[in-house]
A and B are shown apart, each in its own frame.
Chain A
Amino acid sequence: MAIWSQILFSLLFFSGTGLFVRHMVRLRQTILLGRPEKIDDQPKKRWAQMVRVAMGQSKMGARIVPAILHGVVYLGFIIINIEVLEIVLDGFLGTHRLFAGLPGYRFLINTFELLALLVVIAVGVFWIRRNAIHVKRLAHGELKGWPRLDANLILYIEWFLMGLFLLMNAADAQLQQLGAPHYPTVGPWVVSSLIQPLFAGLPASVLVIIERSAWWLHIAGILFFLNYLYYSKHLHILLAFPNTYYAKIKALGALSNNKDVQREVSLMMDPNASIPGTESTTPVAFGAQDVTDLSWNYLLQAYSCTECGRCTSECPANQTGKKLSPRRVVMQTRDRAQEIARQNKVLTGELDLSGSRLLHDRITPEELWACTTCNACTDACPIGIDPLSIIMEMRRYLVMEESSAPLELNNMMGTIENNGAPWPFSQMDRAQWTQK
């Protein structure tokens, strides 16, 4: 009997993790559809940023209620996963509670149970905020459809997993009380003992079925969740770490200088000039009209986004009723990358880029022109996503490839070219203020 369950477990485990690895390889390939960009400067500062922002959640505190709730779920996620190690080893070895003999085991399980309870409560409050109180940034129109369902599914799955964990422990503790063989007495535990009375009077045979079912469903649920990530905004639990490593470490005000433009300008000033990294002779578009024109780093950011909407709620354009929503820009970037991934079996070489492109089809110039480049969105993101840079890349395309800036901006740029100022004053009058 035990050997069959070991085989079944191995099959389940390896197909679950194998599928997950395939998803991650696919994800990496999709992200690398973006333009190459070398980000290897200041590794120490980058590691420190990752530790502080992703592990230390340093930017969550700006909004204290979600910060506490999220902190609970985050801690629960990390600490309760120690229990998953025991579950997996039990599955492979055909043992039951392999670590039961270790000192402090009871304390450990009690800690997991308390955290599980806190997670259940926190997830409940998350659900209420999203579905009953309708917190503005969580009820925004751009979340209609899949994003909203996705958000709720995540909450349900977390409830389900925590519930099964507590149910499994309660049935286990009841079996221990009955003195069932193979159930070493290490309980009862602090939270599951509250549901244990439900099982009073049930025979051991039924309890074993309940305990085993909860155990199998729990581990199967975890493997399902792991593979659900690829389709979900919940990917942030993994990508927040690399994303904060690669996130901007310069002052937020520093916009990138376009290297291809730099090459053109340098060649204009000096025909023998060379700009490292731009040796390729294939002409590339200035700016971005699709995700393949964006740096891979922005695609990583888009996949890391958990759609919390802090960016949009801080955006001055959005607050004053303009169509721009930084979150929508990031979500559309991800959706477009996923669209390309779906319609191309192989993500190298010639790609099928049909479907709706990022610029015009998904994001309109009206949205892009509403941005004041104030950096409120980038500053608000708890994991260092930079919506402003994606907006800027598309503005560059509009101006440098399509010459379609608003008329007033064309006038402004014309006067900079002619007079060296955004207003039509003569450069010769620059020092007139000294005479007044």
Chain B
Amino acid sequence: MQTEIHIPTMAEIAAQQGQIDVLFWVGCAGSFDQRAMRITQAFASLMHKAGVKFAILGTEESCTGDPAKRAGNEFLFQMQAATNIQTLDGYGVKKIVTTCPHCFNTLKNEYPGLGGNYEVVHHTQMLQSLLDEGKLSVSGGSFKGKKITYHDACYLGRANGVYEAPRALIHHLEASFVEMKRCKSKGLCCGAGGAQMFKESEAGSAEINHVRAAEAIDTQATIIAAACPFCNTMMTDGVKKENKDTEVSVLDLAEIIHQAQS
């Protein structure tokens, strides 16, 4: 990372008998997708700056099983869950933060029934509390006067009722926030959920992400804030399709807050 910080793994923490505040569950997109990696790095750097003691599982992390479960492969999902729960419980993990709403939802809502009980927060929630507690601050500057809209991720919004934290982050910037016509519980999906990310869509009259990107562009915003690596990809593609990628950028809220650091 540009900032040259060392991010310990749980194995290292355990070897040193150290303590952490929170485990950063990076997720597959955050680990491997070139675009999402930048979100991961921005968020890690923010936690570091705020003095949060965190660690990652590193090579011991494995897919939560969300795409397998939603594709119908409950068997594979539960195998993944059982392995991950063993790893997490082995390290005595209590609290998890993740930049992916799909990991967030699965860890929070579907692991408890299989014996994995953790306090799970999404990175937008954690950033909100770090800002509220004054451990992080933003200096408007780079976003001053810019028009920003926010695309609700299904697995954060409808699935878990997290609508305010992402918006609160934008309100910390001196930007002008504009809602899309359909937002919060009425927000249109980006089209990636339910394992759609990994397959071609069925025949139809339009692509979901193109429709949603057009709605975002209609707001005249120059920044589309996202809170999910999959939404990020889908919205970026949609903006390209509308030939607006020079004027409109799709950024994760972690990247936005990171850029707004003095």
- A407-432 at interface with B (beta carbon < 8 Å): 408-409, 411-413, 416-417, 420-423, 425, 427-432
With a cutoff of 8 Å between Cβ atoms, the chain A residues found around residue B69 in the complex are 255
Is the CB of B168 closer than 8 A to any CB of chain A? no
Closest chain B residue, CB of each to CB of A434: B7
What number of A-B contacts does a CB cutoff of 8 Å give?
214
- Give how many B residues have a beta carbon under 8 Å from the other chain's beta carbons: 71
User: Are A431 and B110 in contact, with the CB atoms below 8 A?
Assistant: no
Separation of A286 and B105 alpha carbons in the complex (Å): 23
Separation of A262 and B81 alpha carbons in the complex (Å): 10
User: Are A372 and B109 in contact, with the CB atoms below 8 A?
Assistant: no
User: Are B78 and A431 in contact, with the CB atoms below 8 A?
Assistant: no
With a cutoff of 8 Å between Cβ atoms, the chain A residues found around residue B62 in the complex are 420-421, 427
With a cutoff of 8 Å between Cβ atoms, the chain B residues found around residue A412 in the complex are 67-68, 71, 195, 198-199
With a cutoff of 8 Å between Cβ atoms, the chain A residues found around residue B1 in the complex are 433-436
Separation of A191 and B194 alpha carbons in the complex (Å): 55
Is the CB of B150 closer than 8 A to any CB of chain A? no
Task: Say which residue of A250, A314, A323, A396 sits within 8 Å of B186 (CB atoms).
Answer: A314
Separation of A108 and B70 alpha carbons in the complex (Å): 55
Closest chain A residue, CB of each to CB of B75: A261
- B7-22 at interface with A (beta carbon < 8 Å): 7, 9
Most B C-beta atoms less than 10 A away, residue of A253, A372, A413: A253
User: Are A430 and B109 in contact, with the CB atoms below 8 A?
Assistant: no
User: Are B63 and A422 in contact, with the CB atoms below 8 A?
Assistant: yes
Is the CB of A356 closer than 8 A to any CB of chain B? no
User: Are B80 and A372 in contact, with the CB atoms below 8 A?
Assistant: no
User: Are B192 and A316 in contact, with the CB atoms below 8 A?
Assistant: no
Q: Which of A166-174, A298-306, A374-382 lies at the interface?
A: A374-382
Task: Say which residue of A257, A322, A429, A430 sits within 8 Å of B110 (CB atoms).
Answer: A257
With a cutoff of 8 Å between Cβ atoms, the chain B residues found around residue A413 in the complex are 67-68, 71, 73, 76
- A394-409 at interface with B (beta carbon < 8 Å): 395-400, 405-406, 408-409
User: Are B202 and A323 in contact, with the CB atoms below 8 A?
Assistant: yes
Looking at chain A's contact residues, is the secondary structure mostly helix, strand, loop, or mixed?
Answer: helix
Separation of A266 and B115 alpha carbons in the complex (Å): 11
- Beyond known contacts A422-B63, A422-B198: 13 more, CB 8 A cutoff: A62-B186, A253-B108, A261-B75, A287-B74, A316-B211, A322-B204, A370-B202, A412-B71, A412-B199, A413-B67, A430-B58, A431-B56, A434-B1
Closest 9 CB pairs of A and B: A253-B159, A321-B205, A373-B194, A395-B72, A420-B62, A321-B204, A254-B109, A374-B189, A399-B72
Please list the residues of chain B having a beta carbon within 8 angstroms of any beta carbon in chain A. Answer: 1, 6-7, 9, 26, 28, 30-33, 37, 40-41, 44, 56-59, 61-63, 65, 67-76, 78-80, 82, 105, 108-110, 113-114, 154-155, 158-161, 185-186, 188-189, 191-208, 211
What are 20 A-B interface contacts by the 8 Å CB criterion? Answer: A251-B105, A261-B75, A261-B78, A265-B79, A286-B75, A320-B204, A398-B72, A399-B71, A400-B74, A409-B198, A412-B195, A413-B67, A421-B31, A421-B32, A423-B33, A432-B31, A433-B26, A433-B37, A433-B41, A434-B1
Please list the residues of chain A having a beta carbon within 8 angstroms of any beta carbon in chain B. Answer: 62, 250-255, 257-258, 261-262, 264-266, 268-269, 286-287, 314, 316-317, 319-324, 366, 369-376, 379, 392, 395-400, 405-406, 408-409, 411-413, 416-417, 420-423, 425, 427-436
